[in-house]
Structure 1
Amino acid sequence: MRNLLFLIIVLVLAFIGIFIGSVMNTNYKAIESNNSSDLYKGTPLTIAIIGDTPNVKEEQVTFHEIKLSEVINIPKNKYNAVFIMEEYLGEAAHKKYRDAYQSLEVPVFFVRSKASHMPFINMENQISYEKYEDRVNDTQDFITGLWYPKSKEEFKTFRFGYRVENDEFQRDNVQGVYSSVFKKIESTLQ
């Protein structure tokens, strides 16, 4: 009975967190296109990446590979954003990293997170990435993001979805999704 009550409380808190995140924060859906005019053409960006560097067409975007442990001590103004690739998401949800995301002041993007951004937010009674992954099973969004602007009390979330064509998600070409993420990163610099 006690375990059931605990599970119910955790679920209610998770849904409240999702609801508050949806209402209070900016969500952004990307629409993918192969049109070269949709590519990011803004200012040069430097992005820290944990995992393999994605194939992108934008030459003004530079990726610097770092280890997940380096997220804790990233110097201010070194990177415009951080990307964490799918194979590191479980570890990236640990508390020490959730604390680091809150102090970065740049957006952190989670590529192919089936748990959305939920396991990467500091909340009481936080559950593991794997448990969120089982509950949320987000297959619509290719990239989700989290950003704590200078105020550590508030955060913004981002969602960049796969293109839908003929009522099916197009998962084979994600260039447009990355271009939309780069545009969002540039908007956070202002």
Structure 2
Amino acid sequence: MKKIFPFILFILVILAGCTTNAADTVDTPLYAGKPLVIGIIGDSPAVRENNVEFKNITFKQLEEVNNQSSELDAIMIMKEHLSEAAESKYAKVYKNPSIPYFFIESTKSYVPFIIEELSYEEVPELDNLNYVTGYFNTGADENQFQSWGYGLYNDKVNESNIKNVYTQIFTTIASSKI
């Protein structure tokens, strides 16, 4: 019995360690809405959905987005391109009521993207709990807008939680179409 007790204790410790990871993820339903086409600057993320297509675009195409808005449901700008995305010449694009924009892993909210006088580096970190920030000008007035913040479940960076955030974004895009 004395030899079995340490073995049982060891197994229980291992099992307890495995179950703590389950608390770091959440299982949510997939986005099942209409098919979406999302323009993306950067590498396309891995997502769970089959009804979402990512179309690579350049910053030059971003400037012409109003001409493309009929074919794109939204635009995502990945983390490695946030500094360039905050250049003043793009602020007018984001503030034009056409489609929603999502800034992936921006800890500075949407502020550096819509205020022409600020660079990405000049804006202090405003929200480190959001993994993604979304911005959508809903009217002719630049003060008519909607914004979203998407955090990771239990603030844990893992594949499951990141994919869940994208599912939430797809649902937002489908519900925010003009």
TM-score relative to the length of structure 2: 0.78
SS at match of 1:40: coil
SS at match of 1:180: helix
- Give the Å deviation of 1:69: 1.9
Which protein has the larger Cα radius of gyration, Structure 1 or Structure 2? 2
- Residue 109 (structure 1) aligned with residue 134 (structure 2): no
Of residues 56, 59, 69, the one that matches 2:50 is 59
Indicate if the aligned counterparts of 1:93 and 1:119 stay in contact, CA closer than 8 A: yes
Deviating runs (4+, > 2 A) in structure 1?
A: 32-35, 150-153
Gaps of 5+ in 1: 1-31
Between 1 and 2, higher relative CO (CA 8 Å, sep ≥ 6) is seen in 1
**1:126-176 Cα shifts (integer Å, max 9, x gaps):** 3210121xx225321111011012424311111011111xxxx21112111
SS at match of 2:122: helix
Q: What is the root-mean-square deviation in Å for CA atoms of aligned residues?
A: 1.6
Distance 1:56 1:104 in 2: 27
State how 1:21-36 maps to structure 2 within 5 Å: 33-35=26-28
Of residues 31, 36, 49, the one that matches 1:40 is 31
Distance 2:139 2:73 in 1: 14
- Give the Å deviation of 1:104: 5.0
Gaps of 5+ in 2: 1-24
Question: What is the aligned partner in structure 1 of residue 170 from structure 2?
Answer: 182
Percent identity at matched positions? Answer: 33
**1:34-65 Cα shifts (integer Å, max 9, x gaps):** 24xx2111010000000000000110000000
- Residue 171 (structure 1) aligned with residue 166 (structure 2): no
Indicate if the aligned counterparts of 2:139 and 2:145 stay in contact, CA closer than 8 A: no
**1:66-107 Cα shifts (integer Å, max 9, x gaps):** 112211112231200000000110010111111111225100
Distance 1:33 1:105 in 2: 33
Pairs aligned (count) = 149
Question: What is the aligned partner in structure 1 of residue 136 from structure 2?
Answer: 147
Distance 1:80 1:52 in 2: 18
SS at match of 1:130: coil
